[in-house]
């Protein structure tokens, strides 16, 4: 009986976490980013809330048997750039938070045809079973990678190439958000997923945080709304900022 009550309370608590109905992919300073929005509907936020992303996609085995390759559903880790997963991908759920994943050469959303065909260097692109890296760590000097001015190892993907890859691989992005309920000390996990049909291109989230005489207010009627974004933004301000 106690286990059942615990499970029911955890499920009810997880239902207070909101995820945007749609994810977006947009281009910022020459790079494509996958984004979605999440928020807490209760006034008592989760303790130590953090987020993880995984991509499940349909792909062929490297080795052929009798001239045929088996197609398998594979689960891939997706590195999170905002909030930084090097710092635990921690979230403050009091305001809507935009979670950002960069579609770089380690991303499972990166088109395979843009990767080098004649061998791969784990310092510059995804190479199984080496750990998944992030291009942003090379860009900001946190990790060694391709020397400055060196020839690009991977081709920059186009919008159409990414769209075709998402459709062909039947890719689904799985979001797992975890935290501790401060009133019960139970660990809560909320899950959501996005498939190709749930992704809006060249869009961003409408502003849903407004100021009132009593303070800040989150307008949940606008939480799921999208608006057009620049085709290649040079400067980007998240919709959760005000």
Could you report the per-residue pLDDT of 178-224, keeping only the tens digit for each? 999 888 888 888 999 999 999 999 999 998 888 888 888 888 889 99
Give pLDDT tens digits for 4-38: 334 455 557 668 899 999 999 999 999 999 999 99
The domain limits of the chain are 17-59+70-201
3-state class (DSSP) for residue 115:
coil
CATH superfamily of 17-59+70-201: G protein-activated inward rectifier potassium channel 1 (2.60.40.1400)
* The pLDDT of residue 135 is above 50: yes
Residue-averaged pLDDT of the chain = 82
Share of the chain above pLDDT 70, in %: 81
Contact 62, 51 (CB under 8 A): no
| Alpha-carbon torsion, ordered 12, 15, 16, 22, to 10 deg | 180
Binned at pLDDT 50, 70 and 90, residue 103 comes out as very high
* The pLDDT of residue 159 is above 50: yes
Binned at pLDDT 50, 70 and 90, residue 139 comes out as confident
């Amino acid at each position: 009986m106690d286990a059942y009550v615990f499970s029911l309370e955890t499920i009810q608590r997880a239902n207070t976490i909101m995820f945007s109905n749609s994810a977006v992919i947009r281009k910022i300073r020459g790079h494509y980013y996958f984004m979605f929005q999440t928020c807490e509907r209760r006034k008592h936020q989760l303790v130590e809330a953090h987020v993880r992303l995984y991509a499940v996609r349909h792909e062929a085995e490297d080795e052929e048997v009798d001239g045929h390759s088996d197609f398998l559903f594979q689960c891939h880790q997706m590195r999170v750039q905002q909030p930084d997963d090097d710092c635990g991908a921690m979230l403050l759920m009091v305001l809507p938070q935009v979670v950002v994943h960069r579609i770089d050469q380690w991303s499972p959303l990166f088109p395979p045809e843009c990767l080098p065909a004649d061998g791969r260097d784990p310092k510059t692109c995804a190479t199984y079973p080496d750990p998944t890296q992030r291009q942003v760590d090379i860009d900001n000097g946190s990790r060694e990678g391709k020397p400055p001015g060196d020839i690009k190892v991977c081709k920059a993907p186009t919008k159409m190439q990414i769209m075709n890859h998402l459709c062909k691989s039947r890719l689904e992005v799985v979001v797992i958000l975890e935290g501790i309920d401060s009133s019960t000390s139970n660990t809560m996990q909320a899950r959501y997923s996005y498939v190709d049909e749930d992704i809006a291109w060249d869009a961003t989230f409408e502003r849903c945080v407004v100021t009132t005489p009593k303070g800040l207010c989150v307008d949940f009627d606008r939480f799921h709304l999208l608006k057009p974004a620049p085709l290649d933004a040079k400067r980007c301000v998240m919709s959760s900022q005000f």
